[in-house]
């Protein structure tokens, strides 16, 4: 009942079921594609018990739920009667840029099958430990059954991907299973006769047959071709028989085309991608690993880590092992350790309960509760987690371990690092690197996770001159509705990571100089600029959320970098309605980038409408 009530609230606050175009879920998040993001109420969602965070990224409205996301997803699908495979639903999707489309496609294809792959990967790792310890006889029938259970999801991966990919591309998903099944059919395997390539033909078409078990890219490309053919055949054939004839012709064309062209070309592309990544990695594994580990959780926050999933799986498909996934393990343990440090230092019972559950979730590979619930609100712990991850990642890069099955980075990952010939030093190095990331982040967060109160000299209430000397004001650069920074639908701004300040929902598409000063930076896309006042306050004015994706459309700059301006001079103009119609939120954060140089930054205006030139912020000087 709790999940059902939460599901009802989520449907209500994303704008109702009529505002939902499609919905999928991953390990912790509901990933909505909405008709209009402005209709959704992210702030009300964040206040719902059972919701950790709301993130808008890559064209998706993401609601972070946690471990019980699947139960909530099922209730939402039942209550809303959603069908992601419906052709009309697919056609209604809003325009997205290339990156947003790519992330949406990848998450839509891989998210539904990850649970099966992760559980199989964990079982393979545990099976390796049992065999190495002599607790199982590798020649026994019991071992054979366990191997089959652990390997089936990977061996028949083309069938799983065929289903989810065809469904994502708008075709009949069950024929996606048939498509994948053709690639791994026993007769095809027998034609190969144990070799990696053989010459054959289909009618008059010559075919270089290669194995496709565990392959990734070939079946996804084939699924797109099949879906394209099925949808076009549906337009040609009569309604009375198109459901049978269209898929039949789609398979008859796609399967031979896959064996003759799509498969070999995609396999060559897969091998080239794997070789290219390995080449770049080998240039300096230590630095590359440190960078990837340190930024991984930042990628998770914005949901763009999905772009890495096909790379992991492609490496496993091409060479049977992957060097990228081990690098991520210290990143997970770094944030988990930071959450532990904050939990131990806190005396608040509710926070301790939240922190304890976040640490447990983090150990099992789910870091969102630790990030959003514990680390990001205090900022420093999140940074300490990234520092620990970088150090651990550098160690992993030095020893270059491999993971031999797919899985989320967690305590189970160590078993998946064990090669067939037994435990080696790289496994112990990864364990040590993860422990280092964990304890460094925990210790730093425990000792320095919360800034100490600064000693402020008393200011006499009667001495107005002395009081004025310790404060300065920043005027509003635009006209609109004033809201707290915490209500911005972007965790980077809302959490205060970029600095303290306020946000304005503009009613007039103009940005004016808040004080006398200099334009020190202007984004090429003209959606944001940096401003340095004569009193040395550094101000970032960021018009809209994710508006960088507009690539400068609907924005016009009236100044250049280095321009000296007076308070009230026009800096930027923008088309509010055009930006909204493009699907973007126009809420504008006004950030004091060097907030750490002030005792405090507070909103100096009632949370109502504000005019440009009115006092927006008060800065208390040290």
CATH number at residue 548: 2.70.70.10
Q: How confident is the model at residue 401 (pLDDT cuts 50, 70, 90)?
A: very high
Q: Is 579 left (phi over 0), alpha (psi -120 to 50) or beta?
A: alpha
Mention every residue, 6+ apart, whose C-beta is less than 8 A from residue 555: 525, 526, 527, 543, 547, 572, 573, 574
Cα separation of 325 and 404, whole Å?
Answer: 10
Of 261-270, 299-308, 339-348, give the lowest mean pLDDT range: 299-308
Say which CATH number the domain at 23 has: 3.30.1360.60
pLDDT at 386 over 50: yes
For 452-460, what is the mean pLDDT? 47
Same domain, 76 and 51: yes
**448, 483, 500 - which closes a domain:** 448
pLDDT at 411 over 60: yes
Position 256 scores a pLDDT of 93
Same domain, 600 and 520: yes
pLDDT > 90 in the chain, percent: 31
For 544-553, what is the mean pLDDT? 87
Q: How confident is the model at residue 135 (pLDDT cuts 50, 70, 90)?
A: confident
Same domain, 295 and 239: no
Is 150 domain-assigned? no
Is 142 domain-assigned? no
Same domain, 209 and 241: yes
**Would you call 287 helix, strand, or coil by DSSP?**
helix
For 456-478, what is the mean pLDDT? 63
pTM, full prediction: 0.59
Is 576 domain-assigned? yes
**Which residues lie across from 620 on neighbouring strands?**
471, 600
Instruction: Write down the mean pLDDT value for the chain.
Output: 84
Q: How confident is the model at residue 90 (pLDDT cuts 50, 70, 90)?
A: very low
Same domain, 413 and 540: no
Q: Domain of 548?
A: 471-621
Same domain, 475 and 578: yes
pLDDT at 92 over 70: no
Q: How confident is the model at residue 398 (pLDDT cuts 50, 70, 90)?
A: very high
pLDDT > 70 in the chain, percent: 92
Of 200-209, 423-432, 489-498, 563-572, give the lowest mean pLDDT range: 489-498
Candidate ranges 43-47, 315-319, 373-377, 411-415; pick with highest mean pLDDT: 411-415
Is 200 domain-assigned? yes
Is 325 domain-assigned? yes
pLDDT at 2 over 90: no
Is 455 domain-assigned? no
Q: How confident is the model at residue 268 (pLDDT cuts 50, 70, 90)?
A: confident
pLDDT at 454 over 80: no
For the chain, the domain total comes to 4
SS (H, E, C) 91-155: HCCCCCCHHHHHHHHHHHHHHHHHHHHHHHHHHHHHHHHHHHCCCCCCCCHHHHHHHHHHHHHHH
pLDDT at 359 over 50: yes
**75, 95, 115 - which closes a domain:** 95
Same domain, 255 and 293: no
User: pLDDT tens digits, residue range 3-32?
Assistant: 788 888 898 888 888 888 888 777 678 888
**247, 275, 303 - which closes a domain:** 275
Q: Which of the pair, 153 or 88, is modelled with greater confidence?
A: 153
User: pLDDT tens digits, residue range 199-253?
Assistant: 888 888 888 888 888 888 889 999 999 999 999 998 888 877 888 899 999 999 9
Position 1 scores a pLDDT of 59
Nearest to 76, CA basis, from 32, 28, 27, 26? 32
Position 465 scores a pLDDT of 47
Is 107 domain-assigned? no
How would DSSP label each residue in 234-272? HHHS-TTTHHHHHHHHHHHHHHHHIIIIIHHHHHHHHHH
pLDDT at 352 over 50: yes
Is 165 domain-assigned? yes
Dihedral sign for Cα 465, 469, 470, 476, please: positive
User: 503 and 543 in contact (C-beta within 8 Å)?
Assistant: no
Same domain, 248 and 335: no
Q: How confident is the model at residue 87 (pLDDT cuts 50, 70, 90)?
A: very low
**Which residues lie across from 30 on neighbouring strands?**
25, 63
Q: Which of the pair, 147 or 88, is modelled with greater confidence?
A: 147
Same domain, 419 and 479: no
Position 451 scores a pLDDT of 59
Same domain, 404 and 492: no
**Would you call 512 helix, strand, or coil by DSSP?**
strand
For 484-507, what is the mean pLDDT? 84
For 290-317, what is the mean pLDDT? 81
pLDDT at 141 over 60: yes
Same domain, 496 and 561: yes
At residue 291, what are phi and psi to the nearest 5 degrees? Answer: -65, -50
List, by residue number, the catalytic residues: 26
Same domain, 332 and 408: yes
pLDDT at 147 over 60: yes
For 404-423, what is the mean pLDDT? 85
Position 457 scores a pLDDT of 44
pLDDT at 467 over 70: no
């Amino acid at each position: 009942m709790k999940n059902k009530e939460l599901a009802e609230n989520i449907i209500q606050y994303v704008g109702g079921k009529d505002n939902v175009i499609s919905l999928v879920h991953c390990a912790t998040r509901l990933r909505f594609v909405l008709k209009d993001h402005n209709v959704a109420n992210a702030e009300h969602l964040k206040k719902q018990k059972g919701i950790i965070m709301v993130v808008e990224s890559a064209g998706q409205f993401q609601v972070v739920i946690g471990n019980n996301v699947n139960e909530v997803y099922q209730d939402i699908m039942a209550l809303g009667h959603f069908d992601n495979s419906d052709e009309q639903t697919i056609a209604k999707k809003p325009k997205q840029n290339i990156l947003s489309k790519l992330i949406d496609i990848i998450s839509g294809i891989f998210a539904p099958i990850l649970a099966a792959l992760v559980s199989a990967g964990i079982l393979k790792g545990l099976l390796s430990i049992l065999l190495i310890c002599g607790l199982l006889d590798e020649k026994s029938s019991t071992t054979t059954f366990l191997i089959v259970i652990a390997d089936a999801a990977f061996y028949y991966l083309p069938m799983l991907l065929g289903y989810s990919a065809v469904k994502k591309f708008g075709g009949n998903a069950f024929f996606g299973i048939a498509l994948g099944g053709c690639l791994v059919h026993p007769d095809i395997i027998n034609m190969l006769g144990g070799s990696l390539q053989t010459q054959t033909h289909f009618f008059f078409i010559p075919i270089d047959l290669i194995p496709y078990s565990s392959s990734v890219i070939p079946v996804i490309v084939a699924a797109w071709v099949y879906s394209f053919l099925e949808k076009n055949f549906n337009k040609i054939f009569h309604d009375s028989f198109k459901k049978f004839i269209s898929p039949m012709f789609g398979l008859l064309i796609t399967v031979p085309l896959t064996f003759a062209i799509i498969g070999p070309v995609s396999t060559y592309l897969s091998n080239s991608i794997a070789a290219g990544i390995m080449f770049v990695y080998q240039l300096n594994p230590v630095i590359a690993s440190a960078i990837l580990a340190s930024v991984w959780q930042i990628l998770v926050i914005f949901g763009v880590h999905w772009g890495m999933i096909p790379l992991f799986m492609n490496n496993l498909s091409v060479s049977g092992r992957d060097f990228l996934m081990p690098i991520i393990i210290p990143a997970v343990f770094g944030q988990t350790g930071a959450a532990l440090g904050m939990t131990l230092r806190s005396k608040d019972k509710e926070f301790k309960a939240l922190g304890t559950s976040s640490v447990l979730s983090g150990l099992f590979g789910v870091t969102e509760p630790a990030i959003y619930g514990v680390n990001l609100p205090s900022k420093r712990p999140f940074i300490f987690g990234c520092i620990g991850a970088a150090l651990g990642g550098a160690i992993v890069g030095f020893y270059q371990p491999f993971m031999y099955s797919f899985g989320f980075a967690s305590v189970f990952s160590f078993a998946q690092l064990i090669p067939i010939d037994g435990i080696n030093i790289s496994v112990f190095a990864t364990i040590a690197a993860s422990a280092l990331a964990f304890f460094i982040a925990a210790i730093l967060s425990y000792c320095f996770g919360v800034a100490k109160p600064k000693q402020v000299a008393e200011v006499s209430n009667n001495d107005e001159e002395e009081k004025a000397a310790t404060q300065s004001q920043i005027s509003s650069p635009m006209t609109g509705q004033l809201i707290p920074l915490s209500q911005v639908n972007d965790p980077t701004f809302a959490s205060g990571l970029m600095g303290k300040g306020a946000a304005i929902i503009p009613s007039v598409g103009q940005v004016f100089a808040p004080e006398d000063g200099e334009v020190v930076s202007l984004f090429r896309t003209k959606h944001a600029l940096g401003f340095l006042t004569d009193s040395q306050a550094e101000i970032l004015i960021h018009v809209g959320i994710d508006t960088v994706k507009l690539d400068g459309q609907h924005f016009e700059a009236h100044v250049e970098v280095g321009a000296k301006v007076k308070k009230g001079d026009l800096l930027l103009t923008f088309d509010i309605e055009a930006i909204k119609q493009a699907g973007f939120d126009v809420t504008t954060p006004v950030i004091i980038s060097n907030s750490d140089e002030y005792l405090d930054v507070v909103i100096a205006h009632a949370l109502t409408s504000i005019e440009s030139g009115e006092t927006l912020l008060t800065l208390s000087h040290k």
